[in-house]
Amino acid sequence: MIDDLNRLVADGAVLVLSGAGISTDSGIPDYRGPTSVPRSPMTYQAFVSAPKNRQRYWARSFVGWRRIATAAPNRSHAAVADLERAGLVEAVITQNVDGLHQAAGSSRVVDLHGALDRTICLDCGEVGSRVELDARLAQANPGFGADVLTVNPDGDVDLPDGLVAGFTVVPCQGCGGIIKPDVVFFGENVPKARVQECFDLLDSARALLVLGSSLTVFSGLRFVRRAASIGIPVAIVNDGPTRGDGFAAVRVDARLGDVLPRLCADLVTTQAR
* pLDDT tens digits, one per residue of 105-131: 999 999 999 999 999 999 999 999 999
Q: Over 60: is that where the pLDDT of 238 sits?
A: yes
Largest Cα–Cα distance of the chain, in whole Å?
A: 62
Strand pairing category for 89-94 and 109-111: parallel
Q: Give 268's pLDDT tier (boundaries 50, 70, 90).
A: confident
pLDDT of residue 228: 96
Strand pairing category for 14-18 and 109-111: unpaired
Containing 74, the helix (H) or strand (E) segment is none
- Boundaries of every domain in the chain: 2-272
CA distance 167 to 165: 6
Q: Give 49's pLDDT tier (boundaries 50, 70, 90).
A: very high
CA distance 29 to 168: 27
- Type of residue numbered 261: P
Give the pLDDT mean for 139-155: 74
Give the pLDDT mean for 20-48: 78
CA distance 159 to 58: 11
Q: What is the pLDDT of residues 53-87, one digit of tens each?
A: 999 999 989 988 888 899 999 999 999 999 999 99
- What CATH fold (topology level) applies to the domain 2-272? Rossmann fold (3.40.50)
* Bridge partners, residue 109, by sequence: 92
Cβ neighbours for 179, distance < 8 A, ≥ 6 positions apart? 119, 120, 121, 122, 128, 133, 170, 171, 172
Q: Could you tell me the pTM of the whole model?
A: 0.91
Instruction: List the catalytic residues.
Output: 113
